[in-house]
């Protein structure tokens, strides 16, 4: 934590350098993965869909937060409360609040983006209902978190003008709800990482490909780990020994890391499909999952097996004509799914 080092009273510890190195690394890394995802989409003549736009919006919030925190280091972010210039504190605090709100939005939208991707490949009703529950609940829970950020003091301007007349909630309230938010958010990340295993496991495609797909679509578990790690630094919110805005460097880093890692995780499956297509031109097999309902005219088991077999066999002679009105999320099977549908008379 960015706490004052009492053993070195003559030194003025400044954690701004560590903060900037962390948040800019995360912002740039997520930008690279997001750009590659968009490149894969557009070079395949695929129109961007809702999951892509949500991911772009999420990255914009990360960039806004990083830019605000960078500006905030000029006003005292990274310094201990006792070492700050009093006249700079209102600006520093306001920048911190806006940056924190931006990362909350980014976390909600990045998780929603991946959930929307799963919604498009889920083939069972209960799975779709579960995904819808995740989409709604994560936006409600994180939305309330962002709201609490702004209504914890009245008038609102007291949030960054500490000597102003007004009232504020006890800091423990914000800390407890943020702890709940981190636990809930991290749990949903893990659920979203596990769901692809359920969707893909029943397919009859090559086992090696199946494992590769499931691993690629489970990278969101790292965003969940970050959400849990953020809990460690939440104690600074209610730290009565100093102003919390001066000692929450770790929270700012974890807050940026959660949406940034979610963006990277959501981009990896698309990149894997794109790379796999160009490295297995001669011996391609279906790389991802069936992207539509199985035929209902036959028994479920036989229809599923036949559909998967057609999916595998057709992948070596795929047409590169885009599917009108669709932008299916997993690149190889966008085309394989179309060929399979035609072969089955759908």
pLDDT tens digit sequence for 293-312: 434 444 444 544 444 443 34
User: What span, in angstroms and rounded, lies between the C-alpha atoms of 186 and 175?
Assistant: 16
* Distance separating the N- and C-terminal Cα atoms of the chain: 59
Element (H, E) at 150: helix 125-151
Strand 153-154 versus strand 167-168 pairing type: antiparallel
In the chain, the percentage of residues whose pLDDT exceeds 90 is 39
pLDDT for the residue numbered 290: 38
pLDDT for the residue numbered 177: 92
pTM for the whole thing? 0.75
Element (H, E) at 60: helix 50-72
User: What span, in angstroms and rounded, lies between the C-alpha atoms of 202 and 214?
Assistant: 12
Which single residue is written with the structure tokens 């880093």?
Answer: 253
Helix/strand/coil for 195: helix
Contact 1, 16 (CB under 8 A): no
Write out residues in the chain with pLDDT < 70, as ranges. 1-12, 202-205, 209, 235-247, 273-346
């Amino acid at each position: 934590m960015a706490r004052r080092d009492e053993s070195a009273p003559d030194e003025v510890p400044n954690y701004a350098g560590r903060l900037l190195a962390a948040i800019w690394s995360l912002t740039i890394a997520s930008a690279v993965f997001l750009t590659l995802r968009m490149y894969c989409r557009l070079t395949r003549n695929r129109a961007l869909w809702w999951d892509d736009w949500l991911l772009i919006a999420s990255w914009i919030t990360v960039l806004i937060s990083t830019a605000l925190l960078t500006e905030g280091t000029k006003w005292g972010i990274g310094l201990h409360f006792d070492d700050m210039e009093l006249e700079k504190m209102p600006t520093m605090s306001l920048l911190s609040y806006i940056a924190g709100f931006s990362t909350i939005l980014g976390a909600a939208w990045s998780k929603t983006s991946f959930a929307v991707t799963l919604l498009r490949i889920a083939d069972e009703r209960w799975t779709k209902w579960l995904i819808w529950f995740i989409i709604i609940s994560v936006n409600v829970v994180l939305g309330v978190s962002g709201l609490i950020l702004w209504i914890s003091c009245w008038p609102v301007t007291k949030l960054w003008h500490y000597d102003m007349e007004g009232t504020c909630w006890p800091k423990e309230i914000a800390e407890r709800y943020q702890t709940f938010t981190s636990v809930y958010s991290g749990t949903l990340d893990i659920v979203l990482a596990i769901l692809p295993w359920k969707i893909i496991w029943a397919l009859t495609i090559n086992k090696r490909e199946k494992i590769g797909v499931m691993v690629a679509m489970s990278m969101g578990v790292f965003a969940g780990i970050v959400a849990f790690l953020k809990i460690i630094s939440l104690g600074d919110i209610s730290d009565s020994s100093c102003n919390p805005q001066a000692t929450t460097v770790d929270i700012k880093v974890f807050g940026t890391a959660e949406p940034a890692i979610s963006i990277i995780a959501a981009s990896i499956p698309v990149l894997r499909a794109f790379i796999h297509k160009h490295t297995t031109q001669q011996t391609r097999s279906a790389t991802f999952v069936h992207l539509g309902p199985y035929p209902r005219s036959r028994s479920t088991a036989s229809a599923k097996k036949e559909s998967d077999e057609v999916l595998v066999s057709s992948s070596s002679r795929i047409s590169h004509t885009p599917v009108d009105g669709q932008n299916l999320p997993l690149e190889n099977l966008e085309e394989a799914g179309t060929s399979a549908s035609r072969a089955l008379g759908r």
